Amino acid sequence: MAVLEILTYPDERLKQESVSVERFDDELRAFLVDLEETMRAGPGGVGIAAPQVGRFERIALVDCSVTRKPVPNHGFIVLINPEITEWDGMKVGREGCMSVPDYTGNVIRAERIKFTALDGYGERHEYECEGFEARAVQHECDHLDGMLFLDRLVSRRNDLFRRKVYQSK
């Protein structure tokens, strides 16, 4: 077990696309343990992607069961070769990133998503999630494509009014 070093932007490697995982072996599972430890070591971190620690494979973890304010969540999720298959709704929310210290910004994400991912044994799972957890999954999947939340910033000053829900007549 080890807390791995987090790459921080402007490290160019964060902008590269990661490759699919092909081997589901003990080495991979040992890496997942280190990756989880690294995620939990970062203050407030609810997700982490392998490229953030310099391993450019399509691996990420999310755990939204530990937030200060409880949110709907699936607990600890391993996302290997994840694929988001459905997106629904849009919402502005605040994001930060362990690879971009001392900055947070507003990003538009889908409110609800469906996605598939493999676990450490190569078994396929399907998930449906919403809100904060859906945001975390989208943020981590972006890392696998070399995207940072900085690539998706929207204005801090505009478009922040909470949308009222209009009752249908």
Question: Which residues are known catalytic residues?
Answer: 140
> Residue 164 or residue 169: which is nearer to other proteins going by CB?
164
Residue 1 carries which DSSP code?
-
Q: Is 102 left (phi over 0), alpha (psi -120 to 50) or beta?
A: left
**DSSP letters spanning 22-33:** ---SHHHHHHHH
What phi and psi, each to the nearest 5 degrees, are found at residue 40? -75, -20
**Residues near 49 by Cβ (< 8 Å), separated by ≥ 6?**
18, 59, 60, 61, 140, 141, 143, 144
Residue 19 carries which DSSP code?
B
> Residue 24 or residue 71: which is nearer to other proteins going by CB?
71
> Residue 91 or residue 122: which is nearer to other proteins going by CB?
91
Find the shortest distance in angstroms from Cβ 85 to other proteins.
Answer: 20
Binding site for other proteins (CB under 8 A): 42-49, 62, 67-69, 71, 93-98, 101-104, 132, 135-136, 139-140, 143, 149, 156-157, 160-162
Neighbours of 96 (CB within 10 A): 15
Return the H-helix or E-strand segment holding 59. Answer: strand 59-63
